[in-house]
Amino acid sequence: MILYLIGCESLGVRGLSCFIKLDSRSVLIDPGVALGYTRYGLHPHPLQAAFSEITKVLLTSFWHRAMDIVVTRFYGDHVPLYNANPFQLSLNLVKKLNDHALLWVKDYGALTPCERTRFEKLSEYFKNRIVYVNGERASNDGLIEFSGTHLHGLSRSTRVMVVKVGEPPHSIVHLSDTQLLADGVIDKVCSWSPRMVVTDGPPLYRLSDAVRESVARKATSNALRLADYADYVIIGHHIARSIEGMRWLDRLRREVGNRIMCAADYMRKPRLLLEAWRRVLYNVIPVPRNWFIISEYSGFGKAISSYGDVIEELVKSVPREVTLDELEVKRILKDAVGDSRSYFRLRR
């Protein structure tokens, strides 16, 4: 099997999207992308928007190739939206790209009111190609298997699906937004004995003091349990929205070794924690905070054309499998920008 991680926080955007290719099947999971609309009182920087554009191109390409599309929850970092903001994937970009794929979703009764509206818009293009998951379910050939719906980590209002693709000993499990905090989910995954687990981590950036410490301990215990049963555990999404979160992951790596990693590590790319670096981005490359309104930014093409050279230098300069602090980021970003003034095009 081939696993391609498309959009995750360590790759510059919010999400946990991936594409899994088997001999007889190709599965796209959670094809959405987002950027935190406000962080540190700042809207997304145009350099972040450039990474969002790259992710949208990849998602549309994999959407076209997929035989099965799995949506574990109907939020913008997991699914294309009919009312997407400029930093999310618009349903208009993918709705006519694939007329044969099956859509696997939660049972309608498990959707929140907000999710139902988004699902109804998406379902218009799949019609009789929708498979609802309620409890345990598998595809006819057994290559895709679901474990019901589970609570969204610390949230009590939203439920998400857990999906396994492939057969032992080569299967891959995708844990969407359980934040390594659901013991029942961990039990189920361990019973599958997958080769790889793709999971989100705890949202440490949103917590403080005793609560943060308690959540970190719980997530650490469950991550170590997964590492006992899987060859590789890839942890991304919420955990990589802060440097502190990545330090937590680095401690796990020191304990277990390189079998625990983030999405960027698996893809052999540098860790580009753009959301955690947002203040530094505005400091080194100053633009108006509402630049995307001023420039009537459409969400496709403009940012990558202005920031492609900076991205190329960042990819070359940021070391792999290393979590940089803000001072190190600032130095590398200044060098990457260099004498380039291309980014001023978005300011006019």
**pLDDT confidence of residue 300:** 85
Q: What end-to-end distance do the CA atoms of the chain give, in Å?
A: 47
Render pLDDT for 273-303 as a digit per residue (tens, 0 to 9). Answer: 999 999 999 999 999 999 998 888 988 888 9
Pick from 76-85, 154-163, 232-241, 283-292: least confident: 154-163
- Assign 347 a pLDDT band (cuts: 50, 70, 90): very low
- Whether the predicted pLDDT of 348 surpasses 50: no
CA-CA distances (angstroms) from residue 268 to 86, 122, 272, 326? Answer: 28, 33, 12, 22
Which range, of 166-170, 252-256, 327-331, 336-340, averages the lowest pLDDT?
336-340
Mean pLDDT of the chain: 93
Of 53-57, 153-157, 209-213, which gets the smallest average pLDDT?
153-157
Residue 339 has pLDDT above 70, yes or no: no
| Residue 162: closest CA among 140, 127, 136, 141 | 136
331, amino acid identity: R
What string of DSSP letters covers 135-199? SEEE-TTSSEEEEEEEE-TT-SS-EEEEEEES-TTS-EEEE-S-TT--HHHHHHHHHH--SEEEE
- C-alpha 273/C-alpha 27 separation (Å) is 27
What does the pLDDT average to over 207-231?
Answer: 97
Strand partners, 16: 8
pLDDT classification of 135: cutoffs 50, 70, 90: confident
pLDDT over 70 percentage in the chain: 97
Residue 341's pLDDT band, with cuts at 50, 70 and 90, is low
Q: What is the pLDDT of residue 327?
A: 95
Q: Where are the beta strands (DSSP E) in the chain?
A: 2-8, 16-21, 26-29, 68-70, 102-106, 130-133, 136-138, 144-151, 159-165, 172-175, 196-200, 232-236, 260-261
The 10s digit of each residue's pLDDT in 239-263 is 999 999 999 999 999 999 999 999 9
Residue 104 has pLDDT above 80, yes or no: yes
- In the structure, what pLDDT confidence band is assigned to residue 344 with cuts at 50, 70 and 90? very low
| Pairing outcome for strands 68-70 and 26-29 | parallel
How far, in whole angstroms, is CA 299 from its chain's centroid?
A: 18
Query: Which tokens belong to 40?
Result: 């540190």
- CA distance linking residue 222 with residue 163, whole number of Å: 18
H or E element in which residue 9 lies: none
- Region class of 304: left (phi > 0), else alpha (psi between -120 and 50), else beta: alpha
Query: Residue 236: pLDDT above 60?
Result: yes
Indicate the domain borders of the chain.
2-347
Our CA angle for 89, 276, 81, nearest 5°, is 15
- In CATH, what number does 2-347 get? 3.60.15.10
